[in-house]
Amino acid sequence: MARGRDCRRALRLVSEHVDERLNARERVALERHLEGCSDCRREYETLRFTASLLRSLPEPRAPRSFALERRPMRAPARWAWGFSAATALTAAALVFVFAADQAGLGRETSGPQPEPTAQSVVAAQDKSEGQAQAFGAAPAAEAPAGKGGGAEAVETPSEEDMLAGAPQPAGQPPVDREQAVVRVVVEASADTQAAADEEVATRMSALTRTLKEFGVKDEQIAPITQGSEEQQLTSPAVGATAARNALFSAVDGVEVTLDQPDQVGALTAAALANGASRVEKIAFDGEQVLSPAVQGGGEDRTWPAVPLLIGLGGATALGSCVAGAAFLRSRRAVRVSAANRPNPRRES
Amino acid sequence: MQEEELLRRSREGDLDCFNALVERYQDSIYGLALRLLGDSARAEDAAQDAFIAAFRSLRSLRGSFRPWLFRIAVNCCYDQLRLARRRRETSLDALRAEETPPAPLRDPGESPEDHAQRAELEMQINLGLSRLQPDRRVALALRDIQGFTYEDIARITRASLGTVKSRISRGRAELRDYLLAQGELLPSRYRHLSDEGSKAASR
C-alpha cells in the first residue's frame, strides 16, 4: 500500500524534522504527507511537544561550587623519596645475600668464621668433654681450646670421626657430612654441656616419648633402643642414626616438643644433620628453640624459604622502584582537589 | 575575560582562570549529570570529577571547549552509573521520587496551582528520562536540554551520526509514550495534542 510506505518513511523523519535537520526536498515531502495523515501528524506534534518540554526544563543550580584548589605539596615528599630509595637498596641487598647463600658462597667449613655465634663458642669450650663427638654429630675436638671467640670452633671433622659409631644404614643416600656437621655444631651445641650418661639416657627416653607423641610407630623407634645399653649410653651417635631413620622413614616433617629445651636437642639436630628430611619446629613450652634453618644437611637439601625470600625481595625492590617513579611523576603532575566552596550563583 | 584567554591561561596552570571556566559551566554540567543520574549526590560527584579530569587533561583539548568538557562529564556520569550498579544501590532505572531535584522556585506571576503543576511535570519528565536506556537518555539530554547539534553529540558520545539520530528519535518517542501514559498529570494542552492532530487532518 502506497500510504503505508509513505507513513514509514515519514515516521523515520519526524524526529529530525523536530530538530529542523531535513533538507528542502525531504521537508516539503514530509510536510505534504503530514497535511493528509493525522496519525503521522500526531506523531510529529507529540514528539515536538516532548522536545519543547525538555527544553523548557529549568536548569538546576549546582548545589556548591566545583572550583578547584591546588593541593599543597606535603613536606614528607622528599622523605618519601628517600624512603623509597632506601627500601629498594635494602631489598636488593637482601636478594643478593639470599642468592649468595643459595649459591653456596661463604659455606667454607675449615676457614675461620668472622662472626662466631654464642653456640659455636660453647661447642669450642666443651670439646674436651667429647660431647659433640659422642653425639656423633659435632666432633669439635680438633678445634683449638680456649679460644673465647670460637673462631675455629667449627672445624671440619675427619671422615673417621664422622662415621664412628654412626654407621650409614644400607639404602640411605650418602649425605654431605661436611655441611651437616657444621650446622649441628652451630645449632646443637647448646646441649653439649650435658655430660653424664644418665643425662644421655634421659635424652633417649625423651626422644622416644616425643617421637611416640608425634605418631612415630614403635617399630620405627625401636632402633633407638635396640643397641646394647652401653652403646646407647656411651655412643649416642647410634641413637642419632636411629632417630634419623625414625624421622626419615616415619614422617616427612615433624614437630618436636620438648619437656626441657636441652633434652633431645642434640639428638634431633644430629638426626637432621644425618639426613632427616625436615623438622617443622622444635619447641619448648610453645617457644621455638630450634629454627627451621637447621634443616637436614645434604646436597639436595631444600629450603623453600629462599626462593620465597628472593621473590619477596625482588617484589619489594620492584615495588619501591614503581613507588619512586610514581612519586617523581606525581611531583610533575598538577595536584588539585575540590575547593568545596558555595556556588556564588545559587539562589538561597 | 574571553573563554579563549581563560583557556590559554588555564593550560599554563592558572587555576583561577580555570575556576572562572568552572563557574561558567558548573550549573549546566551539574544539570546534565542530575538528569542523567537522577541523584543529586552522584551528580555532584560526577560534576566534580569532570572538572578535576578536565583540568588535568587540558593539554589534550583540541577544538572547542564546551563539547570537550561535556564529553568528559558524560564519561564521569557513566562511571557513576557503573559504580551505582556495582554497589547495587539505586540505579538509573529506579529513580526514587525523593531524589528528584527540588522543584524550581515559583515565578512571581505564577499561581500556586501552576507552580504545583510545573513541579509535577518536571518530576514526571525526570522519571520518564530515568526509564530510558542510558545511551538514549544521554543523547536526548544533550540534544533537547543542552542543545548540542547531532554532530557534536556524535563526537561527545563517540557514536555515528546514524546512531545518534536513532537514539534521539527512540528516546523522544519513549519519553513521549511515558508522559502520555501519565496523561492526567500533564498540562491539558499536551493531552489535546492528538485532538489538534485530528483536526488538522480533517481540514
HSE on the CB side for B45, CA within 13 Å?
13
Contact at CB, B168 and A19, closer than 8 angstroms: yes
- Give kind and range of the element (H or E) at residue A273: helix A265-273
For residue A202, give every residue at least 6 positions away whose Cβ sits within 8 Å of its Cβ, in sequence order, or none.
A263
How confident is the model at residue B13, as a pLDDT?
Answer: 86
Phi, psi (deg, nearest 5) at residue B101: -60, 150
What's the CA gap between A271 and A152, in Å, rounded?
24
Which tops the pLDDT comparison, A330 or A71?
A71
What's the CA gap between A138 and A120, in Å, rounded?
11
Of A59, A63, A334, the CB nearest to B56: A334
Report the gap between the CA of B89 and the closest CA in chain A (Å).
22
Task: Supply the CATH classification number for the domain B1-94.
Answer: 1.10.1740.10
Segment among A203-212, A241-250, B19-28 with least mean pLDDT: A241-250
**Above pLDDT 70, what percent of chain B?**
80
Contact at CB, B27 and A59, closer than 8 angstroms: yes
- Chain A residues whose beta carbon lies within 8 Å of the beta carbon of residue B70: none
Q: Residue A294: how many CB atoms within 10 A of its CB? A: 20
Instruction: Give residue-wise pLDDT tens across range B103-112.
Output: 555 566 777 8
**CB-based contact B127:B119 (threshold 8 Å):** no
Task: Give A283's strand partners.
Answer: A257, A288
Residue A113 confidence class, pLDDT cut points 50, 70, 90: very low
| Over residues B97-107, mean pLDDT | 51
Residues, chain A = 348
How confident is the model at residue B106, as a pLDDT?
Answer: 59
Which CATH number does the domain B107-203 belong to among 1.10.10.10, 3.40.50.1000, 3.30.200.20, 1.20.58.220?
1.10.10.10
How confident is the model at residue B18, as a pLDDT?
Answer: 94
What's the CA gap between A11 and A43, in Å, rounded?
8
Q: Provide the 8-state DSSP code for A286.
A: T
What residue segments make up the domains of chain B, in order of their start?
1-94, 107-203
pTM: 0.52
- The helix/strand/coil state of B146 is coil
Mark which residues 194-213 of A lie under 8 Å from B by CB: none
Of A38, A49, A68, the CB nearest to B51: A68
Could you tell me the maximum CA-CA distance found in chain B, to the nearest angstrom? Answer: 65
Mean pLDDT of all residues belonging to chain A: 59
- Decide if pLDDT at A47 tops 50: yes
The cell for A69 is: 584548589
How confident is the model at residue A275, as a pLDDT?
Answer: 44
Instruction: Give residue-wise pLDDT tens across range B141-193.
Output: 999 999 999 999 999 999 999 999 999 999 999 999 999 888 754 655 555 55
Residue A287 confidence class, pLDDT cut points 50, 70, 90: low
On the question of a common fold for B1-94 and B107-203, the answer reads no
